[in-house]
Homo-oligomer: A and B are copies of this chain.
Amino acid sequence: MANIKKTTHVIESKDVYTILEKEGADNFMDELIDRLTQALHSYNADQTVIPKRSGFHYTFPFTGLVEWMPLHARGEEITVKMVGYHPGNPEMFDVPTILSSVYRFDTKTGHLKAVMDGVLSTALRTGAISAVATKMMAHPSSETLGMIGCGAQAITQIHAISRVIKIKKVLFFDTDADAQNSLVSRLAPLGLDAEFLPKSLKEIVAESDIICTATSIDIGQGPLWKDLPYRPYVHINAVGSDFPGKVEVPLSLLRQSVVIPDFREQAVIEGECQQLTAAEIGPELSAISRQKDQFDFIQNATSVFDSTGWALEDHIVMDLILNKAEKYDLGSQLEVEYFPTDNKNPYEFLMNNDINKSKPNLKKVI
């Protein structure tokens, strides 16, 4: 009989950042970008089944959601990310807006193979997928990156994009002055060789070759701007839209752009694609990655990557983190699920105990 591992590899947040420390943040990000590029290129919806995420959305006790993002790599494994989005978190509890954890199941037995932090991995993969999209869609001469929203996601957006494009200037804006003022110091350890310039939103839209929007703008309050001039080849990574009614990019700009969603079915519900008719939405990022020649023209057009967050990204970043955890022997093996020696006996642990403070009554047993 085949032996299977019965423990769950629990990778705490400290294990994830130890991996980044040991690998080097740049090396880790480069490998993640490479793996995501490969995964998009070889993606086959028959082989990797990704239902759209669902979950609970609520306004009490605070506005927020908890959702599950499942993926089934047929014949192999299942990855499920659980993700909470609570825009009041920083102000009310001094904790990140996005809290998350990721789970890996074996499809041979249903066993929970691994649990890991999803907070850092979400920031990493959201940066990395923007880098992949930017590399495919931005004009090759791009050198000015505009960052609208200077929160947690801004850090990995700037990091990842700087790994695939030679960024000379980073223009940045946040309605929260603290966030804007602290951005540069938060990026300092990366040693990015670029000029950092705080700017108004209008200046960023006008002067950037690449724009990332990663804001917590309220539902119904978007877009972030209207009718501002922008560069004709601008590429926008619209990262912040992840909630029905929440949008960042003006409809007029979307209509003049090639709009590429990560996951169309989801983008029409909670991404920038909410604003568009079906005919106005371009193919998914994985499709343009598979037919690169056909879509090279996007680099010479105004383009928007509608990044709502896709389970494939979480699956790939989990693969990478699991590989590295093994390499560095990080995390702990816990016996989360109960595997009695006799699988027909959930009370096996009682066998050697006199648990009910009375002798086992076997006298009437035949």
Contact mask A49-75 → B, CB, 8 Å, 1/0? 101001110101110111010101011
A85 close to B (CB within 8 Å): yes
Q: Are A358 and B58 touching (Cβ within 8 A)?
A: no
**B13 & A336 in contact (Cβ 8 Å cutoff):** yes
* Given A99-B110, A110-B99, A355-B24, A361:B94 Cβ within 8 A: no
Binary B-proximity of A332-362 (CB < 8 A = 1, otherwise 0): 1011111110111111111101111111111
Q: Is A255 an interface residue (CB 8 A)?
A: no
Residues of B near A89 (CB, < 8 A) are 109-110, 343
Q: Hey, which chain B residues are within 8 Å of A94, CB to CB? A: 1, 343
Asked if A355 and B20 make an inter-chain contact with CB atoms under 8 angstroms apart, the answer reads: yes
Contact A344 B151 (CB under 8 A): yes
User: Residues of B contacting A182 with CB < 8 Å?
Assistant: 342, 344
Binds B, one of A191-199, A230-238, A263-271, A298-306: A191-199
Known A13-B338, A334-B10: A365·B196 in contact at CB below 8 Å:
yes
A117 CB, nearest partner CB in chain B, Å: 5
Interface class of chain A by DSSP: mixed
Cβ of A108 under 8 Å from chain B? yes
Given known A56-B49, A93-B2, contact A84–B110 (CB-CB < 8 A): yes
Q: Contacts A189-B353, A189-B360: A58 and B72 contacting too (C-beta < 8 A)?
A: yes
Stretch from A118-126, A128-136, A137-145 forming part of the interface with B: A118-126
- Give, as a whole number of angstroms, the nearest-CB distance from A90 to chain B: 5
Partner of A58, one of B12, B55, B107: B107
Is the C-beta of A115 less than 8 angstroms from some C-beta in chain B? yes
Q: Does A217 contact B (CB under 8 A)?
A: no
State which of B55, B101, B360 has its C-beta within 8 Å of the C-beta of A191. B360
- CB <8 Å contact, A186 and B21: no
Q: Is A284 an interface residue (CB 8 A)?
A: no
Measured in the bound complex, the distance between the Cα atoms of B338 and A344 in whole Å is: 38
Could you say which of B1, B60, B95 contacts A109, with CB atoms under 8 Å apart? B95
Given known pairs A16-B338, A24-B355, the reply for A195 and B364 (CB within 8 Å) is yes
Task: Establish whether residues A20 and B109, one from each chain, have CB atoms under 8 Å apart when the complex forms.
Answer: no
By a CB distance below 8 angstroms, the chain B residues around A25 are 347, 350, 355-356
Residues 188 to 210 of chain A near chain B (Cβ within 8 Å): 188-198
Enumerate chain B residues within 8 angstroms of A166, measured Cβ to Cβ: none
A-B contact pairs, 30 of them (CB 8 A): A2-B92, A4-B93, A12-B334, A13-B336, A13-B337, A14-B335, A20-B349, A25-B347, A25-B355, A55-B70, A56-B107, A62-B107, A64-B107, A66-B78, A86-B109, A93-B108, A98-B110, A99-B337, A115-B115, A117-B337, A152-B343, A152-B346, A186-B347, A186-B348, A188-B362, A189-B354, A190-B356, A191-B361, A192-B361, A198-B366
- Name 12 extra pairs, CB < 8 A, besides A66-B107, A82-B103, A151-B344: A3-B93, A25-B350, A54-B54, A61-B75, A62-B107, A64-B108, A66-B72, A80-B82, A120-B346, A152-B343, A152-B345, A182-B344
